[in-house]
Amino acid sequence: MSSPLYRLIQPTLYKMNTITTSPADLLFLQVFDGEYCHPDTIVKYLYIENHYGINSFGRDLYIKQQLARGKEKNTSAITDKFDRLIKSVEENGFNTDYAIGVDKNFYLRDGSHRSAMSLFLNLEEVRVNYINMEYPRNYRYSWFTEHGFTETEIARIKNKADQLMDKANAPLNIVLFGSCCDESEFICEVLKEYGEVISCTQYTPDEIMCYNICRELIDASDLYGKKHDATVNVKNSRIAVIQLKLSFPHMTTAENDEIKLLKRIISYRIPVIKQSQEMRTSLTDKTFVKDSQLFIPLNFYQNSRFNTILKLLNK
């Protein structure tokens, strides 16, 4: 595809493939073969911190990165543009009309400044536009080594990336309801294979609340558009909520075959935590829990929605 043609049709293609997800999902989707592959986003995060006096080196790192890229040689022009973005967010909030652009693997193509801002602001969701093609960009740590960054500078970027990933790795809200709550202790033992069990809390809501919460969880987990007819039968109004912090989320993407027009261009993909699917299979195989009694968030965006719903149990 020629560059002029691509620039012409790109906005239309992106708008045909727009989803809402969390900055955490997008962060972990930048990990390939065990390596975080978009540290330039972290440099922009460090610049934002420097702007607010949290560190004293982020601005210099960002200028050095942009000069190495060769797109701009004027230091003032480099910083002024970013400062205008930060000021705009301060005055008007984060503009969700400008989606972050990614390729078919959700690898960042356009919008790393906005991605950094969304992480800094602890936003729960962002809009993502993707095109169903691969457009890899080499911004791995090796790029920084090749362009004269020192070991100290690279270590600062890596340390901040590790901090952000640990913060983004919020405990998953795994929900059981009905008689399978009796197995929660054994289920926690099974889940330890995937990470640290932070807590396991049992609730006995009335039948109406139990039904409403399960209904909302079904709706929140319906990322594929297949559960609108699902029924909820509450015979034992008990709910157990297990919070599990994964050792490290392994993200991938899944395609919905039901919503697809032209496979190469227009399709519908979602970020998925691979362990979520593995845990569901493991729990239904090793315990008496049924699939209909188990809610496991597929990604961090869904996990956040679960968290909001489950707050009803503490009222």
Per-residue pLDDT of the chain (315 residues; tens, 9 = 90+): 345 655 565 556 556 678 889 999 999 999 988 899 999 999 999 999 999 999 999 999 999 999 998 867 788 888 998 999 999 999 999 887 788 988 888 899 888 999 999 999 999 999 998 877 777 667 899 999 999 999 999 999 999 999 999 999 999 999 998 888 999 999 999 999 999 999 999 999 999 999 999 989 988 987 665 555 566 666 788 999 999 999 999 999 887 655 555 555 556 788 999 999 999 999 988 888 887 789 999 999 999 999 999 998 887
Return d(Cα 187, Cα 290) in angstroms, integer: 12
| Sign of the CA dihedral running 164, 165, 168, 171 | negative
**Model pLDDT, residue 304:** 95
**Model pLDDT, residue 2:** 42
Contact 103, 130 (CB under 8 A): yes
**Model pLDDT, residue 1:** 39
Return d(Cα 26, Cα 300) in angstroms, integer: 9
Joined together, the tokens standing for residue 57 give 């080196």
Integer CA distances (angstroms), 145 to 78, 139, 140, 149, 178, in order: 21, 11, 9, 5, 55
Span between the terminal Cα atoms of the chain, in Å:
56
- Find, among 197, 217, 209, the residue nearest to 238 by Cα: 209
Integer CA distances (angstroms), 46 to 68, 228, 243, in order: 17, 43, 30
Return d(Cα 234, Cα 241) in angstroms, integer: 17
| Sign of the CA dihedral running 137, 105, 20, 284 | negative
Quote the Cα angle for 179-300-15, to 5°: 125
152's CB contacts (< 8 A; 6+ apart) are none
- Find, among 31, 308, 310, the residue nearest to 168 by Cα: 31
Joined together, the tokens standing for residue 286 give 């090793």
How much is the CA Rg of the chain, to the nearest whole Å? Answer: 22
| Sign of the CA dihedral running 28, 43, 151, 161 | negative
Domain 172-250+271-314 belongs in CATH node 1.10.287: no
Question: What are the sequence ranges of the domains in the chain?
Answer: 3-168, 172-250+271-314
* Distance from chain centroid for Cα 237: 32
Integer CA distances (angstroms), 281 to 63, 262, 276, in order: 48, 31, 9
